Chain A
Amino acid sequence: MSNTRHAELGLSDEKVLDMYRTMLLARKLDERMWLLNRAGKIPFVISCQGQEAAQVGASFALDREIDYVAPYYRDMGVVLAFGMTAKELMLSGFAKAEDPNSGGRQMPGHFGQKKNRILSGSSPVTTQLPHAVGIALAAKMEKKDFVSFVTLGEGSSNQGDFHEGLNFAGVHNLPVITMVENNKYAISVPIEKQIASKTVADRAVSYGMPGVTIDGNDPLAVYEAVKEARERAVNGEGPSLIEAVSYRLTAHSSDDDDRTYRESEEVEEARKKDSIITFAAYLKEVGILTEEVEKEINKSITDIVNEATDYAENAPYAEAESALKYVYEE
């Protein structure tokens, strides 16, 4: 099997199966959250659907023992790969006290978990980019060989913090990898009304770093690009910008109706390239995802999602007065 694409990238069969499993878990958790939202059990969902390949492919190319990630609100695949559990994500969906992201203080999708080096994020977009640059600055100052990895949407690449952060990283040659998950929509506004340059990656030129545009539906392509960027970063060759192009398969959030601004044919067309389907097809083709394995994975993921849902639904909320805690160090 050494002539398979993943073997050429140095990925074992177990590793790619693990990638698929993580992608599928993200998808199934996300789908469950929509059901819970529509059933009136959780107030809000913001989806990873359509971007799992980019998120998981990238994460697997990082060193998940030492690297830092500054994810954005769709990155369920990233945080799962970095050690957050399904149960923890569900606790966040239900806004329960045990939610490690925020103890139920933030909306779901506002990730953060220090023990897994997942930086805490907010809702104003792109603010996390300078933070990732700051982490990379610390790596350089402390002479450590970790890198930081930050993601955002293509719309967010218009923010000042994108320009300020990447220029800073370029000037100081810092080990930070920025991946723009281009899902072609900033809520309702399509890419052509967001970005004047041909690609987001084109912007890298002005920051003195390489910029590449890759197929975000292909986890192996993403893996390859991020792995290369990481090698450059730890070799002192500085930052990279990666644009992973995919598609947002759901509405922006549970409060959005995408039928008001895009055609259902367009969504159906994109579904044909859905990485959950195409990567499964690849794994079947190379004989890794056998019928038996697929059955086992599906069953185990269903169990994990069910268990997480039950646990989170029954978990207690934070005490009302605990709202007063942790404004400052206590």
Chain B
Amino acid sequence: MPVMSYIQAVTTALREEMHRDEKVFVLGEDVGKKGGVFRATDGLYDEFGEHRVLDTPLAESAIAGVGIGAAMYGMRPVAEMQFADFIMPAVNQIISEAAKMRYRSNNDWDAPITIRAPYGGGVHGALYHSQSVESIFANQPGLKIVIPSTPYDVKGLLKAAIRDNDPVLFFEHKRAYRLLKGEVPEDDYVLPIGKADVKREGSDITIITYGLCVHFALQAAEKLAEEGIDAHILDLRTIYPLDQEAIIEAAKKTGKVLLITEDNKEGSIIGEVAAIIAENCLFDLDAPIQRLAGPDIPAMPYAPTMEKYFMVNPDKVEKAMRDLAEF
């Protein structure tokens, strides 16, 4: 089985989907000749031409809005926001238009667009190249939000997003792009959107997280295993709508739950996960639900000291896991 990086899995999924269905096309800033600022669309311009790998003007609302229009016609646009931080001008198109298209037309129209955006910190990106923006969209019924944690998941979930008949936001951790490598089957597989995935079976504590933090938790779990602490790790994979069943099952399994996000703590996705557990698992809990997240400051500062202070990392995760195990 070939081993590839997280970003190669993105490119592979795009290429395979463009071969499979000629309605699939890519649009965004610098996605064409350059192949994307992170090179996620590397080689696609040469392979599919300028009409299917479209360099757009620098205007995010148009990237989303034109994509939505094309999707309404029956195309399968994959729009790239150069950084998740720059999605803000497109929020009206995403929330007022894409999310509500099916509902407001009573199922007459739909908007099957996929919007990809690199998110996350730890790359010296400062305030505006580091943010986790998913919570802005994660209370908008009509949208689906996918955040994969491994190259295998990237390929299967991106294909599923492109084939999905509803709009999907697909956030890729930019630090994971080249940091993470893994086996990715050559065959055409899709993974279900809306389903969480157990990344490690364990019996002492439950970690529920997503994105790059899944790896921090896995790393910490290996260390803690040497101390006899057995961690159960649930990767949300789709953070909206949440897989409530899997969350409840994972929480009940150990009765001690740690929720981790790289986002600011306040109002983040894990707050909703905590509410689900509180509503459904009160009598199964042996400890208060714990949250590990970024501090409630506007965004990640540039200087390495402050950036490191903001970021979740394996040490912080290990400590939080140990504290919970010892509760």
Contact = CB atoms under 8 A, between A and B. Distances in A.
B37 interface: no
A140 B74 CA distance: 13
A167 B59 contact: yes
Contact of A167 (B62, B65, B71): B62
A105 B102 contact: no
A124 B92 CA distance: 8
A130 B104 contact: no
Contact of B109 (A106, A120, A327, A330): A120
B65 A119 contact: no
Contact of B69 (A113, A130, A140): A130
Contacts of A165: 62, 65-66
Interface string A113-137: 1100001101110010111111111
Contact of B65 (A123, A129, A136): A129
A137 B102 contact: no
B141 A327 contact: yes
A198 to B, nearest CB: 25
A329 B97 contact: no
A329 B166 contact: yes
Interface of A is mostly: mixed
Given A134-B65, A328-B102, A328-B166, A127 B109 contact: no
Interface string B55-69: 011010110111111
Nearest to A176: B69
A134 B61 CA distance: 12
Interface in A129-180: 129-141, 148, 160-161, 163-165, 167-168, 171-172
Nearest to A138: B73
B107 A134 contact: no
Interface string A20-63: 00000000000000000000000000000000000000000000
A100 B69 CA distance: 20
B6 to A, nearest CB: 27
Given A122-B97, A130-B68, A164 B57 contact: yes
Nearest to A141: B51
Interface residues of B, number: 44
B28 interface: no
A131 B69 contact: yes
**Residue in B56, B59, B93 with the greatest tally of chain A CB atoms within 10 Å:** B59
A105 B100 CA distance: 11
Contacts of A164: 57, 59, 61-62, 65
B63 to A, nearest CB: 8
A180 B165 CA distance: 32
B108 interface: yes
A124 B96 contact: yes
Contacts of B89: 160
A130 B103 contact: no
**Residue in A105, A110, A131, A135 with the greatest tally of chain B CB atoms within 10 Å:** A131
Contacts of B144: 328
A12 B57 CA distance: 43
A259 interface: no
Contacts of A130: 61-62, 64-66, 68-69, 93
Contacts of A329: 102, 110, 164-166
A102 interface: yes
Nearest to B59: A164
Given A328-B142, A329-B110, A119 B62 contact: no
B142 A327 contact: yes
A120 B61 contact: no
B106 A103 contact: yes
A183 interface: no
Given A124-B92, A327-B142, A329-B110, A110 B104 contact: yes
B305 interface: no
Interface of B: 25, 51-52, 54, 56-57, 59, 61-62, 64-75, 77, 89, 92-93, 96-97, 100-110, 141-142, 144, 164-166
16 contacts: A70-B69, A110-B104, A113-B108, A124-B96, A127-B97, A133-B65, A134-B70, A134-B73, A137-B66, A140-B51, A141-B25, A163-B59, A164-B57, A165-B62, A168-B59, A330-B107
Given A326-B107, A327-B141, 9 more contacts: A114-B105, A119-B72, A120-B72, A130-B68, A132-B69, A135-B69, A161-B65, A161-B93, A164-B59
Interface of A: 68, 70, 99-103, 105-106, 110, 112-114, 119-120, 122-124, 127, 129-141, 148, 160-161, 163-165, 167-168, 171-172, 325-330
